[in-house]
Amino acid sequence: MSNVNTERETLRCKHCELMQFKTKAEICRRCFKPYQDPVTAQPEPVKPAPKFDWGFCIRLVRQAKGMSQLDLSRALGLTSPRTWISKIERGQIECPTLESLERLAVALGTRPGVLVLIASAAGQTGVQQ
Ligand SMILES: [Zn+2]
pLDDT for the residue numbered 82: 72
Domain presence at residue 1: no
pTM score: 0.57
Give per-residue pLDDT as tens, 70-105.
899 889 888 776 788 888 898 887 778 888 899 999
CA–CA distance, 63 with 109 (Å, rounded to integer): 12
Instruction: Report CA(21)–ligand 1 centroid distance (Å).
Output: 12
Residue 30 sits in the same domain as residue 75: no
Q: What is the mean pLDDT of the chain?
A: 83
Domain presence at residue 46: no
Summarize the confidence of residues 21-29 as an average pLDDT. Answer: 90
Give 77 or 31, the one with higher predicted confidence. Answer: 31
Instruction: Report CA(29)–ligand 1 centroid distance (Å).
Output: 6
CATH number of the CATH domain containing 68: 1.10.260.40
Asked whether the beta carbons of 19 and 12 are under 8 A apart, the reply is yes
pLDDT for the residue numbered 30: 93
Domain presence at residue 47: no
State the maximum Cα–Cα separation within the chain, in Å, rounded to a whole number.
76
Whether the per-residue pLDDT at 2 is higher than 60: the answer is no
Domain presence at residue 28: yes
Residue 21 sits in the same domain as residue 70: no
CA–CA distance, 19 with 12 (Å, rounded to integer): 4
> 27 is in which domain, residue-wise?
6-40
Instruction: Report CA(33)–ligand 1 centroid distance (Å).
Output: 6
Domain total in the chain: 2
Residue 31 sits in the same domain as residue 63: no
Instruction: Report CA(12)–ligand 1 centroid distance (Å).
Output: 8
Give per-residue pLDDT as tens, 50-77.
688 999 999 999 999 999 998 998 898 8
